[in-house]
Structure 1
């Protein structure tokens, strides 16, 4: 699959950032070896949104840290944005002056080792500095599972923290190791072997022991240098990153032309399949042996069916003779809309009373248009919960069965639990125990899980992939989770403070279509799928 050559000892190494050390190796090769090829290098909207959110988070953390040290002149120094050479000079000047904290630091490029980069924060320890990165995801969670050390934001003071558990991210560790090597090159490193990360909650610094990671980092850097220099060849393989990669316009057709096995199975499975000699979709479709060594992520028989379905152009395959999903007298479909990590601003519902044909099937949204985060989110959540509880109780009082449905409950459950926790004590907000009891009850049904139990899905199990097979279509041609994030920004005036009523209506229509799609899909599972969808044995 790959050919490895030694880099010539006098070769100038490509300058790599920490971003180059993780993710698709083939993208790295294309970025460095095909710079003159014209591709649309503009960011996918979802990537743009994440970058903007990360910038807002970094600015907020900088403001907090600056506020902590307001009465300590020279302790907290923020390097001004500008040309990299000026930022490096300002960083070195702040360090030479003994600044306790240096924000927006840029470090001297290590051309001999082929690396460059900067750290959101440098924390002074003794005569040197440790790198601290600011990331827009959580780096710890409540609960004392395992050993974790944290430091308060106002000083570098690592200590065991029994109240938290680590959420480790390989990219974070690689970046901290990368920055440690750059600090060593600049003569600014400490001998502690430590680094830190400030996550989304920004309430402490999670401390990382980087010593065990350094050999792996050095190996990764060497391999990535070989790829970027063309000494290590790569081939395309479909992975999650492909969805937003500008090179997909080139790699996608190449993979289809080669009938590459990664078109039907995930990245790790594709690697294992290739190691076992299953290079193409056809190789996998014709395979009758046991699972290869190290196979993970599902039954090999399902992978074979996926390959056979792809070869025949089949979009959905039945696992079972008669597909089923739980049904009830009173059914409520639920779909939640959130904005990143800021909160859930909309709970959309669609009620169907199967015992009373005169009762209209009605969409009802519970929403706040105050920009998140806002306490008004607690108000809209409380109203949603009160309405849902009233329908459950009314059904029980009249001897009717009740079920509420969502598509992939992990998202809904996260915000059900999170809302009950964050807004505890507000009028109408349920207790955490009430929410947990509902989630664990048979009245909360995940249609996504039902799809997985009943079908094998060659094109994925997302609602936008499966509901059209049941005959449902969205009114908005751009409907999708990432698109709705952009609509929300405009709807509440994130950019300029001017709300857009038209985008609010667009979001509500999209949410309404989502709950209708869930209803149509689950009804189709029990009423029509058996006759319309090919069974796996027929492939």
Structure 2
């Protein structure tokens, strides 16, 4: 079932129902669709995300319990009841006793405004209770050192100072060291919980500036404070709009968005979208909305346009790219050159790098593949730097230090022999994060570089992001992920299940998380997957620098010829 709960009298909205796809909400509650409601298990990736979130919440609970362990038992109360009714009763009893912190709170249903919900933490701020949710993503980011401070007239480059509170007490204070990472779902959930507290009589009588809520994020080092008062009217309208969808009083239609990947209704919606030739099949949600607002509703209609037909109020990405996406959808072209040449940096000695991490716990594997273009007798050998001790572990420091030392020895050796050197990765964001993170977390340990050394390497021409080169050189209608693009260059992964989500499950089995015996077969599988990733990166970038790439159509070709003349498969693969 969805987050919406049915009974004979009414349907109550949970926080999840206020964000995301309105059509999903309509289908979940449509009597006409009840007979065809798909019964599908969560995907492996969804299961892993849920398990990671549950683990994070339990870790935060234990941190808070430890912080408040020297206080009276009534100060920090953990609700442990099994059924929802029991947990609601325990929550209300704890509030009646004056508990300052209530963990795992279940709030009474609000039949008037048709809401229900639970909250990881209720905190009494001296007026009444406020909601604090615990999420498994980052909610703040550090303000860069040396950033300009706001000047008197309100200008300046530093973001507006936010409020944060320590974990040991509710003490919201301006925090100039961080900036907020806005998250719409988080905001809507705390708004939802605030209204439930009001309905239950637990929020207290508040002034206009006293409506606050909190979020504890992945780092769990503070409570980010959110304003909920100014958004209450807007949130009330959203609630009534969603109730109209639930009650089948507002019509909805499917539109392809990122949420569709994990939605059990997607097979039905995909068939509907294809039957209507809906424009969202080829562009993202915001672009699709803009196109529909301009009267462009189908892929065929978009494909027939020219760049001169750009709507007057267009402001969502590249209109030529939208046209190209529609034409590629019709022809089957998977990659289009943005210009005749597709330059990518090359060197005499080249090292392809791919890192594997396990969630937020660390990077357990740095895989490398060295190619010496000046010495064909030197074998191209995959070399992994890995630890199989379950993360987090200081053994990670040793494998990272060994990787860093080897990489820089090869760089120095190339320089000593008058050769140029470059190391390549595909989408440097992940690698850079763990390069920096490893230097920071293991600072002072043997072989660990200083943070400035890592920053110098990342900023140097020796570190090349192949993803950035693909983004600059190609239009990719089906996505720019390595597993989308490398097959066009002729590379295939040996394991059909290879992917980031699958590798998480393989790792858990490989190291024996949860007390199971480690599985050597899964270790071999992970090494093979990592090796294929570095080989895919090498094949892709070498293909970009070769003659075969010239067989692809260019954007100029795709946009210049009328769609009717764009022959399916022409120049495609």
TM-score (norm 1): 0.95
- SS of 2:246's partner is helix
| 2:142 matched residue in structure 1 | 142
Match of 2:562 in 1: none
In the TM superposition, what is the alpha-carbon distance from 1:281 to its structure 2 partner? Answer: 0.9
Unaligned runs of at least 5 residues, structure 2:
1-7, 144-157, 559-573
Whether contact under 8 Å (2:81, 2:90) holds in the other structure is no
What is the 5 A alignment of 1:327-406?
A: 327-406=346-425
CA offsets per residue over residues 353-384 of structure 1, 9 Å max, x none?
A: 00001111011111122222222222211111
Partner of 2:291: 273
Please name the residue that 1:303 is paired with.
322
Match of 1:6 in 2: none
C-alpha distance in structure 2 between counterparts of 1:395 and 1:140, whole Å? 41
Aligned CA RMSD, in angstroms, stands at 1.6
1:458 and 1:529 map into 2 onto residues whose CA distance is 20
Alignment length (residue pairs):
529
Is contact 1:281-1:307 (8 Å) kept? yes
Given the alignment of the two structures, is residue 232 of structure 1 paired with residue 225 of structure 2, yes or no? no
Mapped to 1, the partners of 2:211 and 2:35 lie a distance apart of 40
Q: Is 2:80–2:104's contact at 8 Å kept on the other side of the alignment?
A: yes
Structure 2 distance, partners of 1:386, 1:396, is 15
Of 268, 287, 302, the residue aligned with 1:284 is 302
Q: Does 1:14 align with 2:11?
A: yes
Question: Which position in structure 2 is the counterpart of 1:37?
Answer: 36
Deviation at 1:40, TM superposition (A): 3.5
Unaligned regions of 5+ residues in structure 1, if any?
Answer: 1-10
Measure, in 2, the Cα distance between the counterparts of 1:498 and 1:295: 57
Residues 161-200 of structure 1 correspond to what in structure 2 (within 5 A)?
A: 161-190=175-204, 191=206, 192-200=210-218
Structure 1 residues 209, 127: CA separation in 2 closer, same or farther (over 3 Å shift)? closer
Separation of aligned partners in 1, 2:264 and 2:237: 27
In structure 2, C-alpha distance between the alignment counterparts of 1:406 and 1:388, rounded to whole Å: 13
SS state of the match for residue 522, structure 1? helix
- Structure 1 residues 126 and 387: alpha-carbon distance in aligned structure 2, compared to 1, 3 A threshold: same
Question: Which moves more between the two structures, 134-143 or 349-358?
Answer: 134-143
Contact 1:316 / 1:456 at 8 angstroms: preserved in 2? Answer: yes
Distance in 2 of aligned mates of 1:221 and 1:179: 12
Question: How far 1:290 sits from its partner (Å)?
Answer: 4.5
Give deviations 1:70-125, integer Å, cap 9, x for gaps: 23221111111411111100100110011111100000000110110010000112
**CA 1:279–1:475: 2 relative to 1, 3 Å:** same
Q: Aligned with 1:236: secondary structure?
A: coil
Deviations 1:470-528 (A, max 9, x none): 11100001011111111111112223342211111111100000000000011111113
Distance 1:104 1:481 in 2: 32
Per mean C-alpha deviation after superposition, the further-off stretch among 504-513 and 11-20 is 11-20
CA distance in 1, matches of 2:227, 2:555: 49
* 3-state SS of paired residue (1:439): helix
Alignment partners' CA distance in 1, 2:388 and 2:394? 11
Map residues 413-432 of structure 1 onto 2, 5 A cutoff.
413-432=432-451
User: Residue 215 and residue 379 in structure 1: after superposition, are their counterparts in 2 closer, same or farther (change >3 A)?
Assistant: farther
Seen in structure 2, the aligned counterparts of structure 1 residues 294 and 180 have a Cα distance that, compared at 3 Å, is: farther
SS class of match (2:443): coil
Kindly tell me: are residues 294 and 419 of structure 1, through their superposed partners in 2, closer, same or farther at Cα, counting changes over 3 Å?
farther
Deviation larger for 290-299 or 171-180: 290-299
User: Equivalent residue for 1:7?
Assistant: none
Deviation at 1:298, TM superposition (A): 3.1
Structure 1 pair 38/496, CA: closer, same or farther in 2 (3 Å)? farther
Aligned to 1:223: 241
Residue 81 (structure 2) pairs with residue 62 (structure 1): no
Q: Which moved more, 1:64-73 or 1:381-390?
A: 64-73
1:210 matched residue in structure 2: 228
Residue 75 (structure 1) aligns with: 75
What's the TM-score once normalised by structure 2's chain length?
0.90
Residue 454 in structure 1 maps to residue 468 in structure 2: no
Which moved further from structure 2: 64-73 or 242-251?
A: 64-73
Contact 1:173/1:213 (CA < 8 Å) preserved in 2? no
Distance 2:384 2:554 in 1: 38
- Cα distance, 1:189 vs. partner? 0.4
Q: By how many angstroms is 1:293 displaced? A: 5.0
TM-superposed CA distance for 1:41, in Å, is 2.9
How many Å separate the matches in 2 of 1:416 and 1:24? 37
Determine helix, strand or coil for the equivalent of 1:212. coil
